[in-house]
Chain A
Amino acid sequence: MNEGHGTTRGLVWKESRQLMPVLLILSGVGLLLVVLWQWIATFSYQRDYIGNYLPFVLPALFSVGAAAVLVGQEKEQKTLWWLGSLPTPPARVFWIKLAASMVGLVIMWGVCAVLVALTHAGHTGGYAGGMGFGRWLGASTYVFLAVHSFYILVCGFYTTWRFKGTFASLLGILPLSIVPFVVIEAIGSLRNWGLGPSWGASVESVLVTYSVLVASIVLMTWLANRAAMKALGPTEPESPRKIDALSWAEPWRPSELDSSSRDPYRLSIASLLWQSIHHSRYTLLAITAMIMLGTVAGSFFTRSQWVSFAGGQLGALMLAGLVGVAWLGVFAFTGDGSASRLRFLADRGASPTIVWAGRHLVGLSIVATAILLYWLLTYQVLPNLYREGLEFIPSVAFVTLVLWVFYSVSQWTSQLTRLLALSTVLAPVLSIFTAYWLGYAAMMLYMPLWLLVLLSMLPMLATWLMMRRYMDENRGWQSWVISIGAIGLIMCVPLISPALKVAQFPTISDAIRSQRLAQAKATKRFAYPQPLTIHQTLGYENLIDEKPSAEKRLAQLEKRNFEPRVLFQPPGGSIENVPALSIDSQTLFPMIKYANYQKVRVQSAPDNEVEAAAMTDWIEMMVDVVKRLRKSSRWLDQDRADVIEIWLTNLMSDESFDAFRERDFAKETIAMLANQEARSEARRRAVLISWYDEVTKRESRFDSLGGYESNSWPDEYTMPLRPDEYTMPLRPIIQPRLAEAVADAGLRMIEASEQGKPIEPIRRELHNLLIGPEQSFDVSPYGPLVQASSDRVHPSDLLWAYRNLPSIKWYSPWEQKAKALANQDVDSAETKEME
């Protein structure tokens, strides 16, 4: 029938037009939240964790709010009755509304999927810097959440048709939404499925879950239909019996408060308070109940035995309590607090400040009562059972702050958004977001506590400033300016402190940087250094670490035949075949160890030619290794080469090895050891290339600077209990600068030694950068004490301390010692000549 078709078209158009702003606003808010989250999460590696769940806020909010917009709002504006006066069957109105909101929900899920795709676009396997918090939500979660959201949508329809106020209908969704889960849990416990947050993947449980959900949807739709027909249809008359029956109850009914008989309050704010409470007593009561329950749950949550007993339920109650506080904030500017009703007071010249205070008194006093209750329960009533370990008990101040932020943000949201439905769902979300942001800023971004409190007061300030305009229903540009200003402040102020801290970090000038980069680019590279590895043979591993008797060890060692070039090989075959080598401490340590062992053998048998030859082998190998290490472009290798050179210097300086000094290889060795220029050159090349590589992110996986784990700087190994100078969020910003500063210091150290300038100031710089100015320079690895004993090669040098600190052995006394060796040689040669 043409008429029927036309009506459907008209109704569909109307419902879509009414839903459109909700869809747009929610999508916009979702997009904003996701973008903001990405921005925040660039400071931290936890972006995936919560960011995954953010897009799901959209369909959730929509499913709760759609009915409120389509039905609740029409009820409030009374257009529903006009619609009903048109010749259309109420059933059609109901079904079209339901269909439109279902389509809207599908669209919201689409937007959510798009957002999810967007936020995962930049991820490479869910890791960011080695901290894998990324978690993917499986397809089954999507399906489940989608079905549940449809259920909530239909619940919303039922409550809005059935109940009068929007607030009441929104509150009513909560218990209804839990019903299917209660049923499922009941069925599950009947069949002993092991209740818990994670369901077993048994087919039966999945089937039951979904069938219960679908059945709930159908049931709720039918209920909603009934409620709608009742609401849209003719009002039934009250049965005569009922009316008559009540007449005998009349005398027993408590008489209505005859307010005219009492004197009016003297203070206007008292009247405002009375009004706030009485205009919707039951809603206020419900919200207060929620908050108090949440508080009680929170108290119990601090006792671990309760947590293990009923952690999930307590958590849910606490969340409900928080939402209740948010709704309390919303309450401040709805109902009689809405702009249109406040006109009554504005027309009578009430001061906006008094009205503002009057609206907030109720909410704040309820929150204060809740805090008192919390204090009472947590600290006075509940028994203190400090078992093993510490209990985490949030202090009263902490709870106050959190609740305050929730209330503050919610009341501001409520004043800004005119739609009650929208603000009811938006307020908790925004409050959680703000609370998280402020907490994060306080912990990770050095925001002082007083600043946090100040920022949390901003929304209250904003609403107070806008109160007059709000009461006059004047939504001019000033309101927007104030709102945006407040948001901007809350978002940006916490960033000032870290920005300052970052800016304080020493940097090199652009000119120098570009010059060095050019220099680095031009530097010749050798082939990529191959790692030198130790090829263990049987029995080796037990050689020195075990604790067998000395004879046993010696017997083992006697059996050994370890040729250095067999033992230490790069992947490319033998050392000679490889132009450049790199080495790590797991290889270097044994090398030194076994070289030492050989040395001991030689020392104990000075005339043994075999041992001497072996020693020669060792020395030659080590020289080769050093030469190739010097060709490596990694900074770390230079420093490891230093260690080997130190050992060689010590060896050559040792009297018991005088005999060796005559040999050719020894001269070569000494020449190499004394050649500080070549060493400096190699160092410079290594530093430049390492830094260049780090800048161009060739070695980006471990944030390393030439082999050093620069993401562990300032050094965590030396001083593990140092206070964190740069918190997690700032590290990614600081790292490049730190690397640059260190590389710069290294290069300047080389230059200083070449130009004969003092090196100690640069060592101080390195100390401040890598260890920290609070630590004493004297006992630092860069300090005079350690430098003085720089020619020691202690195993701990390699394995524990100083492992991650660069350039410790640069230009230290051992280099002088090496040079002295050469001179000694020259002298002795000259002496010989003279002889």
Chain B
Amino acid sequence: MNHVITTTDLTMRFRGCDALLGVDLNVEPGTVFALLGENGAGKTTMIRILTGFQKPTSGSASVCDIDPMRDPLGVRRRVGYVSDAPALYDWMTVGEIGWFAASFYGGNFHPAYGEAIRRYEIPEDRKIRNLSKGQRAKVALSLSLAHDPELLILDEPTSGLDPMVRRDFLESMIDRAAAGRTVFLSSHQISEVERVADTIAILHQGKLRLCCPLVELKDSIIELTVNLDDPLIALPKLPDSTETLCEETYGRQRRLVIRDFSSDMHSLFTSREGVVGTSERALPLEEIFIAYTKGSLGPGRPRENPSEIVEEDAKVTSGSQA
């Protein structure tokens, strides 16, 4: 199927840091794709590359079958883009900026924009500098949606906004998805992401740690709590099909976050001497995210619990999914 966004081995190096190291990404049409990552993980850089504002050091990208490096204008015509704290012309009124932007897109832009503004109940004749933060964000959103783009790119659009405005953004994202359009979302509001996202990708230290459908992700990860007699007991090695994301010790309890853990693996633990009991819990997305980003389990990582067996071959799987 034709992906809306494809990146191939996308690399971006800056003087002070390496923002992206060989990222391969595919976004399917009609889905809500959420890109998560810590601040400075490279999300904004990737978005800048996708919208043609930055040329990558190497690798390629394709948005709506257009190469943003070759034809950034084409990309921008097909894509709606809302950034964090968008810089709109302060001195224009709400109506004026819509009229101004409409001249770039033609077609149904102006009426659609007007309708959106009316729906958000923003007075058309107020100057942008006199709008509240939330209203500004709504204006920016209306501007980006008025030309019915195939793809809507949102870069932390609701940071610092009140819940009502965030609700509005969520609703418009859902609306787009319901209409069959694609939404590419980069956000820190993980609880919101949990509601609306189809696919989750986690960018960590320039690499794509994870890219898979949300349902699958949540199904496959559990938090295993092991109660121990003796805190120093080494835990059994888990089969290679699993991936331990992180491990912590609190007194007599050990907590592991494991992917692809099946229930029969409990016996591995309970059969061990000194293990009192185990319990498992499904994790919300936020904790999954923290587990993924707290520390990648590459070789040589300082372990909290030096154990002879837990060689966790951390398969740093990058970007493999359906």
Contacts and interface: CB of A to CB of B under 8 A. Distances in A.
Interface of A: 2-3, 6-11, 13-14, 17-18, 77-79, 81-82, 84-89, 233-238, 240, 243, 246
B54 A237 contact: yes
Contact of A6 (B52, B53, B106): B106
A234 B73 contact: no
B91 A7 contact: no
Contact of A3 (B53, B101, B104): B104
B283 interface: no
Contacts of A79: 87-90
30 contacts: A3-B104, A3-B106, A6-B102, A6-B103, A6-B106, A8-B103, A9-B103, A10-B100, A10-B102, A11-B103, A13-B100, A14-B89, A14-B92, A17-B92, A77-B87, A77-B90, A79-B87, A79-B90, A81-B53, A81-B87, A82-B88, A85-B51, A86-B101, A88-B104, A234-B54, A235-B53, A235-B54, A237-B13, A243-B15, A246-B15
B87 A10 contact: no
A11 B86 CA distance: 19
A14 B96 CA distance: 9
A86 B140 CA distance: 12
B275 to A, nearest CB: 48
A236 B12 CA distance: 11
Contacts of B100: 10, 13-14
A237 B55 contact: yes
Q: Which are the 3 A-B pairs with shortest beta-carbon distances?
A: A10-B103, A78-B87, A6-B103
Contacts of B106: 2-3, 6
A813 to B, nearest CB: 86
Contacts of B88: 79, 82
A9 B77 CA distance: 18
Contacts of A77: 87, 90
A234 B69 contact: yes
Given A6-B103, A10-B99, A17-B91, A85 B81 contact: yes
B120 interface: no
Given A78-B87, A82-B86, A85-B51, A10 B12 contact: no
B146 to A, nearest CB: 12
A6 B99 CA distance: 10
A9 B110 CA distance: 15
Contacts of A88: 73, 104
B172 interface: no
B254 to A, nearest CB: 38
Contacts of A2: 106
A597 B92 CA distance: 95
Contact of A87 (B53, B68, B77): B77
Nearest to A9: B103
A18 B90 CA distance: 11
Contacts of B91: 17-18
Interface residues of B, number: 35
Nearest to B54: A235
A6 B77 CA distance: 15
Interface in B210-256: none
Contacts of B99: 10
A79 B77 CA distance: 18
Contacts of B22: none
A100 to B, nearest CB: 14
Interface in B61-116: 68-69, 72-74, 76-77, 81, 86-92, 99-106
A234 B12 CA distance: 13
B196 to A, nearest CB: 24
B87 A87 contact: no
B56 interface: yes
Contacts, number: 85
A55 B118 CA distance: 48
Given A6-B106, A82-B86, A234 B15 contact: no
A87 B89 contact: no
Contact of B73 (A13, A82, A89, A238): A89
A238 B13 contact: yes
A243 B100 CA distance: 41
B57 interface: yes
Given A82-B87, A85-B81, A240 B52 contact: no
B320 to A, nearest CB: 27
Given A77-B87, A79-B87, A243-B15, A234 B72 contact: yes
Contacts of B54: 234-235, 237
Contacts of B56: 237
Contacts of A3: 103-106
A443 B290 CA distance: 78
Contacts of B55: 234-237
B150 to A, nearest CB: 13
A10 B77 CA distance: 16
Given A6-B103, A10-B99, A84 B87 contact: no
Between A3, A235, A237, A246, the greatest number of chain B beta carbons within 10 A of the residue's beta carbon is seen for A237
Between B76, B87, B91, B92, the greatest number of chain A beta carbons within 10 A of the residue's beta carbon is seen for B87
Given A6-B106, A87-B104, A234 B87 contact: no
Interface string B37-56: 00000000000100111111
Contacts of A6: 102-104, 106
Contacts of A81: 53, 87
A159 B77 CA distance: 30
A504 B81 CA distance: 76
A10 B81 contact: no
Contacts of B12: 237
B57 A240 contact: yes
A16 B15 CA distance: 40
Given A77-B87, A77-B90, A236-B55, A85 B13 contact: no
Contacts of B102: 6, 10
B73 A87 contact: yes
A698 B18 CA distance: 90
Nearest to A6: B103
A321 B88 CA distance: 39
A82 B69 CA distance: 18
Nearest to B14: A238
B72 to A, nearest CB: 6
Nearest to A88: B104
Nearest to A234: B55
B245 to A, nearest CB: 33
A237 B57 contact: yes
Between B13, B15, B100, the greatest number of chain A beta carbons within 10 A of the residue's beta carbon is seen for B100
Contacts of A14: 89, 92, 100
A85 B103 contact: no
Contacts of A233: 72
B293 to A, nearest CB: 26
B21 to A, nearest CB: 13
A77 B91 CA distance: 12
B47 to A, nearest CB: 11
A7 B103 contact: yes
Contacts of A86: 76, 101, 104
Given A234-B68, A243-B13, 15 more contacts: A6-B104, A8-B103, A10-B100, A10-B103, A10-B104, A11-B103, A14-B92, A77-B87, A79-B88, A82-B86, A88-B73, A234-B53, A235-B54, A236-B55, A243-B15
A453 to B, nearest CB: 41
Contact of B76 (A11, A87, A236, A243): A87
Nearest to A83: B89
Contacts of A82: 86-89
Contacts of A238: 13-15, 57
Contacts of B13: 237-238, 240, 243
Contacts of B89: 14, 79, 82
A9 B101 CA distance: 11
B30 to A, nearest CB: 23
Contacts of A89: 73
Nearest to A237: B57
Contact of A234 (B52, B92, B101): B52
Contact of B104 (A7, A18, A234): A7
